[in-house]
Amino acid sequence: MILERVRPIQLSDIQEARKRIARTIMRTPLIRLELGSQFPDIRLKLENLQPINAYKLRGAANSVALLSEEQRKRGVWTISAGNAGQGVAYAARKAGVPCAVVVVETAPKSKMERMRALGAKLLPVPYEIAWKALEERSFPGADGTFIHPFDDDNFIAGHGTMGLEILEDAPDTRAVIASIGGGGLITGLGSAIKALKPEIKVFGVEPETAAPAALSFEKGSPQNFPNWKASFVDGAGGQSMFPRMWERMKPVVDGYLVVSLEETKNAMRFMAEKARIISEGAGALPLAAALSRKAGKGPIVAIVSGGNIDLNKFCELIAQ
């Protein structure tokens, strides 16, 4: 399969996406975390409040809105550990389009149940098979238009709409931190922010158990992460950095941060205690990174990318 060359996401792509998705997504609040003068000035962008409790709805809604009539009839499919699948399923159901999801079989039960409830046909597979299907963009039994969960111009432009909201709500922002899984979120966000305020620093963050982007930055080329381990941070980090995503991220990301699982749990607890926010592991990575002071004194916007976590698991993690 010959893919289109990677191109920069233009500000106009993001502005058009914003109009397209306005009726499907929520414009999420940006709140200040009240921590006291000894901490950096941190604001939280609450994407966990989207209708699917995760930011992926932005990209999915934009991709589904751009389908032709014939593509709508044939349906769509995607590959996901949970949030992209929910995003595509939600946008597809709203548009009356059939949807299937090749889902990583270790995805949290709550994410699986929600995809089913949104009408998606689930095809569970091991992580390695899902990763291979992402590279090949095909899977036996999955028909219709494939919506790539990160390496897709329309998906990325949808995520960029978050950057427009941040700059309107917090024009004094000095740094923005977002988790990196596939890299679509940070590419969209970074594209919007660098187009409008290039002086704002954009940082990506990964868990120490799965940090191929930080390793790629260190080595100067896309890397496999040798000591990858599965953890409760199932929506960020990965076994490798896709070369195309590395190409997309390089011009719009200033630095890459890595946090421990302990710091991530503390950030989850912090949000629950201070702001009554339920965040999944990936959604807490940016706050953990902001609290480490590696992104400066702020104002820092930390993207709370999602809140899809089994409640028993959440309680167990923040109680430790």
Per-residue model confidence (pLDDT) at position 109:
82
Render pLDDT for 50-64 as a digit per residue (tens, 0 to 9).
999 999 999 999 999
Per-residue model confidence (pLDDT) at position 106:
83
Number of domains within the chain: 2
Could you tell me whether strands 42-46 and 30-33 are parallel, antiparallel, or unpaired per DSSP bridges?
A: antiparallel
Which residue from 265, 256, 269, 194 is spatially nearest to 225, judged by alpha carbons? 256
Q: What is the CATH number of the domain that holds 227?
A: 3.40.50.1100
Q: Per the domain annotation, does 205 fall within a domain?
A: yes
Q: Of 120, 146, 172, which residue sits at a domain end?
A: 146
Positions of the chain with pLDDT lower than 50, given as ranges: none
List the domain range (segments joined by +) for residue 287: 11-54+153-319
Q: Are 259 and 207 in contact (CB under 8 A)?
A: yes
Please give the structure tokens belonging to residue 165.
Answer: 């909201």
Render pLDDT for 179-189 as a digit per residue (tens, 0 to 9).
999 999 999 99
Give the separation between CA 265 and CA 70, rounded to whole angstroms. 46
Are both 211 and 133 inside the same structural domain? no
Per-residue model confidence (pLDDT) at position 36:
84
Are both 205 and 313 inside the same structural domain? yes
Q: Per the domain annotation, does 284 fall within a domain?
A: yes
Q: Of 113, 146, 179, which residue sits at a domain end?
A: 146
